Amino acid sequence: MARRRRILFKRPWDTIVRIPASRWLNFWDVGTRRSVPVWEYAPCSETNLLRVSAVPSDFFGSSDARRAEVFGDTSSTNGIKVAAGQILFARRTGGSTIYILKLKQQAENRLLVDYCVVSP
């Protein structure tokens, strides 16, 4: 594992979801054309960020047929539903750098995340 940082993601579309302690991670970047998804995600069963020991080989993007099976039928081609306390993997589509995200806190349109960066 590489670095451990705390960052604050501010995503304006998160405010449309009104379910407490639950938001969405989108496959798209803010301000980009939506013709090309830029993020892929993989689930993680670990609950402690520092105990994650294996990186998955399969990541799931917006058009992956297995997305609903892996993330549940509440996922969509726009994003996956996530909750505070959850750990998951993220990478840019076609990229090699992997981010291990621990979703710490959510309030309105802000998501506080602890993360590690894994480079091959």
Q: What's the pLDDT tens digit per position in 7-33?
A: 444 444 343 333 345 577 887 776 666
Q: Which residue has the higher pLDDT, 20 or 40?
A: 40
At 73 the three-state DSSP class reads: coil
Q: Kindly state the percentage of the chain with pLDDT values over 90.
A: 22
Q: Which two tokens stand for residue 91?
A: 């990478």
Residue 3 confidence (pLDDT): 52
The per-residue b/e assignment along 95-106, b for 16 or more CB within 10 angstroms, e otherwise, is: eeebbbbbbbeb
Summarize the confidence of residues 86-90 as an average pLDDT. 92
Average pLDDT across the chain, whole number: 77
Residue ranges in 27-84 assigned as alpha helix (H): 67-71
Instruction: Spell out the domain ranges in the chain.
Output: 4-118
Q: Kindly state the percentage of the chain with pLDDT values over 70.
A: 72
Q: Which residue has the higher pLDDT, 108 or 94?
A: 94
pLDDT, tens digit, for every residue of 52-72? 999 999 999 888 888 888 888
